[in-house]
Amino acid sequence: MDDVCCKFSRNQLTVLTGESGAGKTTLLRVLLGFLPVQSGHITALDRHEHPLAPSQGCAGWLPQRPLMIFGTVADNLRLANPDADMHSLRAAARQADALGFIEALPNGFETMVGERGTLLSGGQIKRLALARVLLRDPDVLCLDEPTANLDPGSAHRIAQTIRRCAANRIVIVATHDPALVRQADQILHIENARVENIVFPKDAAA
């Protein structure tokens, strides 16, 4: 990334747009501390170390292909918090719009999901992975193509859930999905590893 200057605020859904390979995922990884900052700095929440590194506990990361282990639904959720009780699991699942389908599974939270979630649909995997991220109740959510390769109905549900997650959080999403772009409070368009344009749709519509 080169010459990036932007601000992310609570109660705001920021969408990163651009062609594949433009730098959307790279920007997310830089923000999360997965890639080093060669020059400049990132500040947030009055933290002195890298503010959004997962080790700091304030950021949640949902990659395009979420990890699913061979185990139960509860086992997969507890990857984020091994000590989480059932009340916490249910609360996170409800927030991610996953509770309904989990309770409809043969054994609910104790249902085996199969290696890489093979017994679940793509939309169910994404909602389960989002619930896992929310189990930590992060201040910042970074999501990479959360609706990619989903059917329209599943993509719509995920988009609506992400919009709700922006309440009192910073949410940053890399996406090609027009449904998510339409819900954005801030749009950063990236070309050739540079933020070429920043748009605030609500201001533009006023």
SS3 letters across 99-128 = HHHHHHCCCHHHCECCHHHCCCCHHHHHHH
- Residue 27: phi and psi, rounded to 5, are -60, -45
Q: Which residue is it, tokens 């679940």?
A: 120
pLDDT digit string, tens, across residues 79-96: 999 999 999 999 999 999
Answer yes or no: is pLDDT of 170 > 80. Answer: yes
Q: Do residue 144 and residue 206 come from a single domain?
A: yes
Are the CB atoms for 37 and 58 separated by under 8 Å?
Answer: no
Domain stop point among 137, 160, 191: 137
**Is 41 a member of any domain?**
yes
**Is 38 a member of any domain?**
yes
Domain stop point among 137, 152, 175: 137
Are the CB atoms for 186 and 13 separated by under 8 Å?
Answer: yes
Are the CB atoms for 146 and 170 separated by under 8 Å?
Answer: no
Q: Do residue 54 and residue 144 come from a single domain?
A: yes
Q: Which residue is it, tokens 């932007």?
A: 6
Q: Do residue 159 and residue 194 come from a single domain?
A: yes
Mean pLDDT over each residue of the chain, to the nearest integer = 87
Domain stop point among 106, 137, 168: 137
Non-local (6+) Cβ contacts of 170 within 8 A are: 8, 9, 10, 12, 14, 139, 140, 141
Mean pLDDT, range 165-173, rounded to an integer: 93
pLDDT digit string, tens, across residues 128-167: 999 999 999 999 999 999 999 888 888 888 899 999 999 9
Q: Do residue 133 and residue 143 come from a single domain?
A: no
CB neighbourhood size of 100 (10 A) = 10
Q: Where are the beta strands (DSSP E) in the chain?
A: 12-17, 59-62, 140-144, 170-174, 186-191, 194-199
Q: Do residue 132 and residue 149 come from a single domain?
A: no
Could you tell me the two tokens for 127? 């909602």
Mean pLDDT, range 1-22, rounded to an integer: 88
Per-residue pLDDT band at 52 (split at 50, 70, 90): low
Q: Do residue 113 and residue 147 come from a single domain?
A: no
Q: Do residue 132 and residue 148 come from a single domain?
A: no
Q: Do residue 196 and residue 160 come from a single domain?
A: yes
Range of the domain at 125: 68-137
